[in-house]
A and B are shown apart, each in its own frame.
Chain A
């Protein structure tokens, strides 16, 4: 971003400076006390992860190493899966045996293609193995278990020619895919948090909450990256959804189909939004500030990204992401408490609601989902308290004055003055735009027709009309 951009967006610059200057990590690694192998591991973490490296390094000392290694193991797996230079017959056993290889001292893998970006990690994977062996047994077992599940899932996808040729068909397949690439990571992390006594153990009884954390992030990425994936000839948007809007996947990217493509993307966003309440609820189970930050930052980024992609035509033609300033602000807000994160969610939910288009077939369903998330936040942090309401009411019943009369008089005076000024302005503005007050008078005489200043072009007959710009729904309960 150039200087010009920040010149016109000083808030963005402010957020970046605030984050850089004021952010105070809860915990800091002390490399001096680490073994050379562990330092190497953190170096690879830095090399392989742009977004996760710093949050991982600020984790509670109890979990910082297990989670760093967990990340590196999964990154290693991913590097094998992604490498198209490795033939399938070789790749499959490599994936399925990964958990056994990571138990062999000194095991490394040097057969990645030269262009595979994280090949260095596997070339020096022995340092990861060395450190894995030093972990407490429960942590090690969790990492191994997830590695087995994920490696087998990846191997299944590698073999699944149907999937590789046609892409994702059903919504259930889409969610299963998200489960393998993100849900499993979430499962491993939750188990690590609970094992380290840094999260509420009851999260283990509610696996759907953990699953939602992963689904929310992964679905958001899949929506945002639709164009990039299209160029790479990959498709993760399920046909079950897009076939309602276009006949072929290529059609989604044709400018003449933009309206349909946008409606399709909003169904994808709606599908992702259904996880938001679970995510907020999950985060309520964090018992350690650093762990909270670790899980909250990606979630805040995801809701902001969803808002960015919602009804945004750019997703079909370029790679978009949230600005650095926004990212810094979100990180600041995500490293405080759940209440602040809820406010972040509410803010972006309302922006999504603002962009919602009545012509979109998903319009009301999106509005309902936004409302549900707001209601959920309200349930977590109620603004109205029935006890207080009852007390206030009792007070009024007893006739206690709630405000002294002098105050009321001033209030009334201010109110009247405001009312007068506003009326004067309005009358003036209306006159300026051509309201004909003389016509008003003549209308009262002949009852022909009357137009609100600017209010629609169809005059209404006031004799029978009781309609207004506002529907009278106040007592429609019956």
Chain B
């Protein structure tokens, strides 16, 4: 996976017994792949918990132990952890953030909040040393106003102020994870949270899929807003890399013992980290780069930019229209807002403390992600973008 040049002199960084929760998922399987394929990392034992362990599965020769379980089933999670006895748990599991109805909300709560609480409890009981939790960069946004160069000093947007319930549950879970750090009676249990922004790449069923669909439907000629809004998109392999860096540093801290707490500026445990490609781009440029990679030969001459206000009106009309029809709207005010929104982060902390640097550039990431999608689509493995 990694493009980072690894010299033979460089010793693999030992992670011990690793359990990846959601290890068959989009991000999770990249973490599994990196542990196995990147000479930078080594694990003495690797296991995975996922709802279904068939997709993105490593061949048996790789000796990954797969366990099918729903993490909101606390009992089962507990028994698996007792059996596996991992040193490191990387918790990436989360439902697809689509849907706003009560069923979806209930699912978000059960998996993100209750499931994470179950994972934390099971980790504490099984004597896990380090837990790395995949949070979301959206926890500091209200999903409507701009987020400009935000870093970890930004406050979480919670409760009534958070219109997106999905984000609310991610933030709640992050708080649970960070509160469990060194918490009595488990003073050596260390936790950290990674907050990735806009993940895309191989295995992505959302960003790439949606954008390619727009291209196939020849709707690339529309732009909402002035196109100057910067946005963070992060290649999935970079996010996986950041998780492993964090896990490794938690282990180092753990080795130092419960009594020695690192200085603030180098502390990983109990901390959250934004992780991006460290290259915010203009939202619509990202879309155009995807379209280009998917075969578009268009420049920007054909693009008609409509104002955000007009977009909101159109979105409103579309919502009303489809509501009358009883169908999910193709275009909403929220999507309009998103495409005009500035949302990017300052990842100095991850660079400084985790030693994180993106290992795959945005350009390469886009090409990889689109190539993967087109191959999968041609093989009939993912729904065609039409």
Question: Which residues of chain A have C-beta atoms less than 8 A from B372's C-beta?
Answer: none
Asked if B363 and A476 sit within 8 Å, CB to CB, the answer is no
**Partner pick for B224 among A382, A386, A470, CB 8 A cutoff:** A470
Asked if A468 and B292 sit within 8 Å, CB to CB, the answer is no
A426 proximal to B (CB < 8 A): yes
Asked if A419 and B316 sit within 8 Å, CB to CB, the answer is yes
Provide the A346-388 mask, 1 if CB < 8 A to any CB of B, else 0.
0000100110111100011101101110110011001110100
Asked if A358 and B136 sit within 8 Å, CB to CB, the answer is no
Question: Which residues of chain B have C-beta atoms less than 8 A from A456's C-beta?
Answer: 217-219, 221
A115 proximal to B (CB < 8 A): no
B356 proximal to A (CB < 8 A): no
* Chain A interfacial residues counted at CB < 8 A: 55
**Partner pick for B300 among A357, A393, A397, A466, CB 8 A cutoff:** A357
Q: How far is the CA of A393 from the CA of B336 in the complex (A)?
A: 25
Question: Which residues of chain B have C-beta atoms less than 8 A from A460's C-beta?
Answer: 217, 330
A444 proximal to B (CB < 8 A): yes
Asked if B330 and A363 sit within 8 Å, CB to CB, the answer is no
Asked if A477 and B138 sit within 8 Å, CB to CB, the answer is yes
Q: How far is the CA of A431 from the CA of B187 in the complex (A)?
A: 69
Question: Which residues of chain B have C-beta atoms less than 8 A from A419's C-beta?
Answer: 313, 316
Asked if A467 and B292 sit within 8 Å, CB to CB, the answer is no
Q: How far is the CA of A467 from the CA of B363 in the complex (A)?
A: 24
Given contacts A353-B228, A423-B317, A478-B26, contact A382 B363 (CB under 8 A): no
**Partner pick for B279 among A368, A418, A466, CB 8 A cutoff:** A368
B379 proximal to A (CB < 8 A): no
Given contacts A468-B332, A469-B222, contact A363 B288 (CB under 8 A): yes
Q: How far is the CB of B242 from chain A (nearest CB, A)?
A: 13
Asked if B313 and A462 sit within 8 Å, CB to CB, the answer is no
A258 proximal to B (CB < 8 A): no
Asked if B230 and A476 sit within 8 Å, CB to CB, the answer is no
Closest to B340 in A: A470
Closest to B200 in A: A476
Count of chain A to chain B residue pairs whose CB atoms are closer than 8 Å in the complex: 206
Q: How far is the CA of A354 from the CA of B284 in the complex (A)?
A: 11
Q: How far is the CB of A181 from chain B (nearest CB, A)?
A: 31
Q: How far is the CB of B92 from chain A (nearest CB, A)?
A: 8
Given contacts A363-B292, A426-B313, contact A470 B282 (CB under 8 A): no
Interface SS of B by simple majority: mixed
Given contacts A371-B281, A471-B207, A474-B338, contact A463 B310 (CB under 8 A): no
Question: Which residues of chain A have C-beta atoms less than 8 A from B253's C-beta?
Answer: none
Asked if A370 and B314 sit within 8 Å, CB to CB, the answer is no
Question: Which residues of chain B have C-beta atoms less than 8 A from A17's C-beta?
Answer: none
Provide the B190-207 mask, 1 if CB < 8 A to any CB of A, else 0.
000001111110001011
B149 proximal to A (CB < 8 A): yes
Closest to B329 in A: A468
Q: Which of B50-58, B73-81, B154-162, B265-273 contacts A (4 or more CB under 8 A)?
A: B154-162
Q: How far is the CB of A255 from chain B (nearest CB, A)?
A: 19
Question: Which residues of chain B have C-beta atoms less than 8 A from A475's C-beta?
Answer: 97-98, 136, 138, 164, 166-167
B322 proximal to A (CB < 8 A): yes
Q: How far is the CA of A475 from the CA of B210 in the complex (A)?
A: 13
Closest to B345 in A: A375
A410 proximal to B (CB < 8 A): no
Q: How far is the CA of A77 from the CA of B336 in the complex (A)?
A: 60
B45 proximal to A (CB < 8 A): no
Question: Which residues of chain B have C-beta atoms less than 8 A from A372's C-beta?
Answer: 279-280
B94 proximal to A (CB < 8 A): yes
Given contacts A364-B362, A473-B207, A477-B199, contact A375 B149 (CB under 8 A): yes
A389 proximal to B (CB < 8 A): yes
**Partner pick for A353 among B26, B134, B136, B282, CB 8 A cutoff:** B282
Asked if A390 and B155 sit within 8 Å, CB to CB, the answer is yes
Question: Which residues of chain A have C-beta atoms less than 8 A from B366's C-beta?
Answer: 364
Question: Which residues of chain B have C-beta atoms less than 8 A from A161's C-beta?
Answer: none
Asked if A474 and B334 sit within 8 Å, CB to CB, the answer is yes
**Partner pick for A367 among B27, B221, B289, CB 8 A cutoff:** B289
Closest to A383 in B: B148
Asked if B285 and A364 sit within 8 Å, CB to CB, the answer is yes
Kindly identify, within residues 373 to 421 of chain A, every residue whose CB is under 8 Å from any CB belonging to chain B.
374-375, 378-379, 382-384, 386, 389-390, 393, 396-397, 418-419
Asked if A477 and B292 sit within 8 Å, CB to CB, the answer is no
Asked if B214 and A358 sit within 8 Å, CB to CB, the answer is no
Question: Which residues of chain A have C-beta atoms less than 8 A from B204's C-beta?
Answer: 476
Q: How far is the CA of A364 from the CA of B317 in the complex (A)?
A: 34
A465 proximal to B (CB < 8 A): yes
10 closest residue pairs by CB, A with B? A475-B97, A471-B210, A470-B335, A468-B331, A477-B136, A386-B153, A367-B285, A358-B288, A470-B339, A368-B279
What are 26 A-B contacts with C-beta separation under 8 Å? A353-B228, A365-B361, A367-B281, A371-B230, A371-B344, A372-B280, A374-B230, A374-B280, A375-B280, A378-B149, A386-B151, A418-B309, A426-B310, A444-B325, A456-B219, A456-B221, A462-B330, A463-B327, A469-B331, A470-B338, A472-B206, A472-B210, A473-B233, A474-B164, A476-B198, A478-B92
Q: Which residues of B contact A (CB under 8 A)?
A: 26-27, 92, 94, 96-98, 134, 136-138, 143, 146-151, 153-155, 157, 159-161, 164, 166-167, 170, 195-200, 204, 206-207, 210-211, 213-214, 216-219, 221-222, 224, 227-228, 230, 233, 279-282, 285-289, 291-292, 296-300, 309-310, 313-314, 316-317, 322, 325, 327-332, 334-336, 338-339, 344, 346, 361-363, 366
